[in-house]
Amino acid sequence: MVIAIEEFRHHESTTYHKECLLNAQHLLSVDEEKVDSVELHLDKSAQAHIAENRCLVVPVIETVILCGRQGLPHRGHKDSGPLNLAEEPTTNERDFRALLRYRGKGGDPNILKHFTTCGNNYMCTSPEVQNEIIESCNLPIRSEIVKRVNDARCFAILADETTDISGIEQFSLCVRYIDGPTICTREDFLHFVPVYDCCGKNLARVIVDSLTTTALMCATFADRVMMGLMHAMSGRYNGVQTHIAREIPLAPNVHCAAHSLNLAVSDACNQVVVNNCLSTIGAVYNSLNTPKRQAVFSKAVDDKAPSASRIRQKQMCPTRWIERHDAVIVLLDLLIPVVDTLRTILNWQDRASAAGANQLLCAIKKS
């Protein structure tokens, strides 16, 4: 017995026994949550690092959102490379990098820390990162629009096909509905859809698939949707409206009211006298739209019509008749200054200018 007690005392004094006892106490403390484990400490460090990185990238996200809300171009063909706040750029940067630089010089601590401590591969200013941020913003915005449309139940789809600057054919899809809380008509853009086959059947399939993907089109609302298609897609036999009507018989196609009005007025004004009058108004604008002649015209406006609401003529729009109507009204208001300006140009030594002014003056007198 004495020998056993002596062995136990010797064992208690050994180093490995003390280390095992200490490890056991640590293990019990972790189980009882008195202290944090090593993994938890590492996890907390990782979480703190993630939170810090998120704070640093927030100004970049806010700048992308600001450019999108204000309709500002994000980047140009020379906006590449690291963003050095300590040096002025040698070329004019586009709005995205210029706003970040402005905020950094204004003392934004997150931007200063982000662009002075991070590596060149983590600045989050590349076109790919910008596009990812834009796409991430697109999802909640479109979801909110879809929710409003589904709450309105009845809605109209506006579809048009065009070619962008890179030559890609794409659909622009918009939705028109009654907003419940405000009781007003809203027209919101949904998205662009690339198309590779512009036949009526394929375009109809693109529209239906897009509406299904955005959760707008379903069996419940299939009889509560109207379509507003551009004129070229509204063919009676093989147009987009024909193919969609086969799947959704109760979805009528409604022509754009402005486009229909434009067609009606174009046919109604297909008279020689009216065409000559409008051509004369356009020729007057083109003739006086030079710096030297505009200076003479401005002086005539100040002398002959100082109370006029317009001081410049309006160009004849080739497609919108309401714009042409405004051009006619402006010319009537400024007719006396226009005649006075043409009479002044008649006395110039420039034969071409004098001859043109004489022709316009004669045409105006016969209108």
Q: Give the tens place of pLDDT for each residue, 77-115.
A: 766 667 777 777 777 788 888 888 888 877 778 777 777
Residue 131, domain member (yes or no): no
Residue 132, domain member (yes or no): no
Q: Which two tokens stand for residue 250?
A: 């109760």
Q: Are residues 281 and 361 in the same domain?
A: yes
Q: Are residues 112 and 154 in the same domain?
A: no
| Residue 182: band (very low, low, confident or very high) from pLDDT cuts 50, 70, 90 | confident
For the segment 206-233, the average pLDDT, to the nearest whole number, is 62
Q: Are residues 183 and 164 in the same domain?
A: yes
Q: Are residues 150 and 247 in the same domain?
A: yes
For the segment 105-128, the average pLDDT, to the nearest whole number, is 77
* Higher pLDDT, residue 336 or 166: 336
For the segment 160-168, the average pLDDT, to the nearest whole number, is 74
Residue 130, domain member (yes or no): no
Q: Are residues 248 and 291 in the same domain?
A: no
Q: Are residues 107 and 185 in the same domain?
A: no
Q: What is the domain-level CATH number for residue 242?
A: 3.30.420
Specify the number of domains making up the chain: 4
Q: Are residues 154 and 208 in the same domain?
A: yes
pTM: 0.55
Q: Are residues 162 and 247 in the same domain?
A: yes
Q: Are residues 164 and 118 in the same domain?
A: no
Residue 260, domain member (yes or no): no
Instruction: Find the domain containing 209 and state its range.
Output: 146-255
d(C-alpha 255, C-alpha 259), whole Å: 7
Q: Are residues 321 and 340 in the same domain?
A: yes
Residue 17, domain member (yes or no): yes
Q: Are residues 89 and 7 in the same domain?
A: no
pLDDT tens readout for residues 328-359: 888 888 888 889 999 999 888 888 888 888 88
Sign, CA dihedral 314-320-326-331, equals positive
Q: Are residues 66 and 118 in the same domain?
A: yes
